[in-house]
Structure 1
Amino acid sequence: MEKIVIQTKDKSKLDLVKSMLEAMRIDFKVVTDQVVSKENPSPSRDPYFDNPKNIENILEGVKQAQSGKVVKLSKDKRKKMLGL
């Protein structure tokens, strides 16, 4: 499967392209810039990173960490939570 990425800040042009694709009965999906611009970052090409939802969850976690919404666990608490 091939992908075509269309970038424009002009919503009317984007709407026109969508209308043309619909008229030609070509399936398409709209994704955010984050998902489109990120290739699989895994050196081993782990398929986990091909799932856009997983990437969104990771990016959300990064935002939370940057805003201080984190809970730090001691080594002992981590072991206890993991049953080690």
Structure 2
Amino acid sequence: MKSIEIQTDNKEIIEAFKKLAEAFNVKFTEKEDLTKAPNPSPSNDPYFENPGVLKGIKRGIEDSKAGRVVKLTREEREKLLGL
């Protein structure tokens, strides 16, 4: 079995795809946009309900976009982790 994921905010496109799937007797499921959900975790993991966790994640994304990152080689990571 194969699946296709379609991402759009255009309701007309969504309805057209739903009609097409129904016409071909194809099963489909709709998923909520997790970026707008109070808990961005697909499994509703309570870890992501903590505002401090979300703040840290957003700060990390901003740091990465701004180039404030340190890249480690595999050997450096293993040494830091004691592996």
- Using structure 2 for the length normalisation, give the TM-score: 0.53
Distance in structure 2 (CA, Å) of the matches to 1:68 and 1:41: 25
In 1: Cα distance, 2:49 partner to 2:65 partner: 24
- Mapped pair 1:49 → 2:48: yes
Runs of at least 4 residues off by over 4 Å? none
Structure 1 residue aligned with 2:74: 75
Counting aligned pairs with the same residue, the percent is 48
Question: Superposition RMSD on alpha carbons, in Å?
Answer: 1.3
Long gaps (5+) in structure 2: 1-35
TM norm structure 1: 0.52
Q: Which amino acid aligns with 1:59?
A: K
Cα distance in structure 1, aligned partners of 2:65 and 2:37: 20
User: Aligned with 1:73: secondary structure?
Assistant: coil
Q: 1:41 aligns to what SS in structure 2?
A: coil
Higher relative contact order (CA closer than 8 Å, sequence separation 6+): 1
Q: How many residues are paired up?
A: 48
**Distance in 2 of aligned mates of 1:79 and 1:39:** 36
Which runs of no fewer than 5 residues in structure 1 stay unpaired? 1-36
1:31 aligned partner: none
